[in-house]
Amino acid sequence: MEYFTANKGGLYEYERETERERGKVRFLISAIMILGFLFAMPSFAAGPETAVPKGDHQVLAMYYADQVQDFKTKARFWENTAESYEHHPELYKATDIADEAAHCRQIARNFRKMADEAAALASEHLSLSRKGQ
């Protein structure tokens, strides 16, 4: 709520309410980030060992190719989250925006690196499947 009174106490209440609203937005964004991590965790924990017969390189290549797409999608999500921080500076202190955006971009870089590693594994397993090993 906004308070528009002429006395000093009323102006203080207005500022406190504005800060309270900012706190709610920060909490919401933090909750979204935590949920994103929780949804990402099963893909980190689940490996191909549980569903793939030993030596089936074609299936492993397909698994890692799917992982590449999944990691690229997650990288785009975190890049978009960083841009969201930067496009709504009125909700945060200047240092918060830069720190939060940098943090999100680091997560996106990590996902891109994981996508590159999964692509290399997919290529390796595809090569092995063609050789008949």
Task: Going residue by residue through the chain, which has 133 residues, state the pLDDT in tens, using 9 for 90 and above.
Answer: 444 445 555 555 555 556 667 777 787 788 787 777 767 665 555 555 555 666 788 888 999 999 999 999 999 999 998 998 888 877 776 667 888 889 999 999 999 999 999 999 999 998 988 887 5
User: Structure pTM?
Assistant: 0.59
CB 86 within 8 A of CB 100: no
How confident is the model at residue 120, as a pLDDT? 95
The encoded tokens of residue 56 equal: 């089936």
State the Cα–Cα distance between residues 86 and 3, nearest whole angstrom.
Answer: 28
* Structure confidence by residue, pLDDT tens digits, 112-126: 999 999 999 999 998
CB 30 within 8 A of CB 3: no
Residue 123, number of CB atoms within 10 A of its CB = 13
What are the boundaries of each domain within the chain?
Answer: 8-131
Q: What's the first-to-final CA gap in the chain, in angstroms?
A: 69
Amino acid letter, residue 123: S
Of the chain, the percentage scoring pLDDT greater than 70 comes to 69
How confident is the model at residue 17, as a pLDDT? 57
Burial-class residue 27 by CB neighbours within 10 Å (0-12, 13-18, 19+): exposed
State the Cα–Cα distance between residues 80 and 107, nearest whole angstrom.
Answer: 12
State the Cα–Cα distance between residues 116 and 72, nearest whole angstrom.
Answer: 9
